[in-house]
Amino acid sequence: MSDTPLHRKLVKLGFQLTHGRETRHHYALWPHGALNHAPDGSGTLMWRGKPAATLLAGGLPAGLQEITLIGSGPSLRDQAPERLPPRSAILLNGAISLSGRVPPLAIAIEDERFIWRHWTMLREHTPDCYWMLAPAVMRAILQRDALILQDRRILLIEDITKPTGRKRRSLDDPAIRDFVRRGGDASGLSQAPWRGVVPAGTIAFSAMQFALAARPAQIGLAGIDLSNADAPRFNETAGNTAPSGIVSALTRILAAFTLAKDEATRHNIKLACYSQHSALCGIGYPFQPRL
């Protein structure tokens, strides 16, 4: 399987060397991409000077009975996610391979390395659902296929501290203070994820912010184990695994999900963790043997 090509690694390194800390994140769309979007999330992604994708306003549909985030944790190997209602799951990264068994509400990809490593998977599984994508992910996709994003329902996943085309900012910036909740530590949570998400080191937390903003009756979490992130994912084998930064970022991730749990309580959203091995159970997410 392919990894990030050398020329993209050099582009990123070049921006790190030639741009200051405030603008080096602009490498994400360089050189052929440009993104114009409004505070409500709507906008257009340009590629080589032509419209390549349309971004939708707002987030996920409101008022759903449930939304389940499905990651690629090893626990998913022995579970039956098809027990979930159709169009209720957000498939994260490698869980996209489940789209034939679990018709998704959305798919979500935040790291362009997934595109370079698993392009074949994405080409084989292109479900008609919301596509939640980060700017660098969209650029990587368009480098492989300039037409694939046309007519897709796209929601932008953008790091709120690194806005496209603008300078880097802190979570305490007055411009975002009205919709960013802060935890007792360095954690944060966006209550308007279409304006940007607060990163925590895992796509699961970015998707969680969209799920919380949609105010479903329940949010479930499957394959989001965290405690065994150094083991092969459910769709990997020993010796053929993609690297994961979850182990080193676990403290940060759990602090973020603790804040998310508090946000769910504030809005009367029930939480359910479908993996008894998940580190989330250790911070108060109730386990349910549903799958």
pLDDT 10s digits, 72-122: 998 898 899 999 999 999 999 999 999 999 999 999 999 999 999 999 999
Angstrom distance (rounded) from CA 53 to CA 262: 35
Q: What is the pTM of this model?
A: 0.91
**Angle between helical axes of 250-266 and 203-214 (0-180°, round to 10):** 10
Mean pLDDT score, 42-49: 95
Beta strands across the sheet bearing 218-222:
33-37, 43-47, 50-55, 153-156, 130-133, 106-109, 89-92, 66-70, 218-222, 270-273
243 pLDDT exceeds 60? no
Q: What is the pLDDT of residue 71?
A: 95
Percent of the chain with pLDDT over 70: 92
Look at 261 and 276; give whichever has higher pLDDT.
261
Q: What is the pLDDT of residue 194?
A: 96
Q: Is 157 helix (H, G, I), strand (E, B) or coil?
A: coil
Question: Nearest CA to 66 among 211, 209, 207?
Answer: 211
pLDDT band at 217 (very low <50, low <70, confident <90, very high): very high
Q: Strands 180-182 and 188-190, how do they pair?
A: antiparallel
pLDDT band at 18 (very low <50, low <70, confident <90, very high): confident
Q: Count CB atoms within 10 A of the CB of residue 288.
A: 17
Q: Strands 188-190 and 50-55, how do they pair?
A: unpaired
Angstrom distance (rounded) from CA 64 to CA 219: 10
Angstrom distance (rounded) from CA 261 to CA 259: 5
Q: Is 164 helix (H, G, I), strand (E, B) or coil?
A: coil
Q: What is the pLDDT of residue 236?
A: 41
pLDDT band at 288 (very low <50, low <70, confident <90, very high): very high
SS3 content of the chain, % helix, strand, coil (to 5): 30, 20, 50
Q: What is the pLDDT of residue 183?
A: 87
What value does the CA radius of gyration of the chain take, rounded to a whole number of Å?
A: 18
Q: What is the pLDDT of residue 184?
A: 73
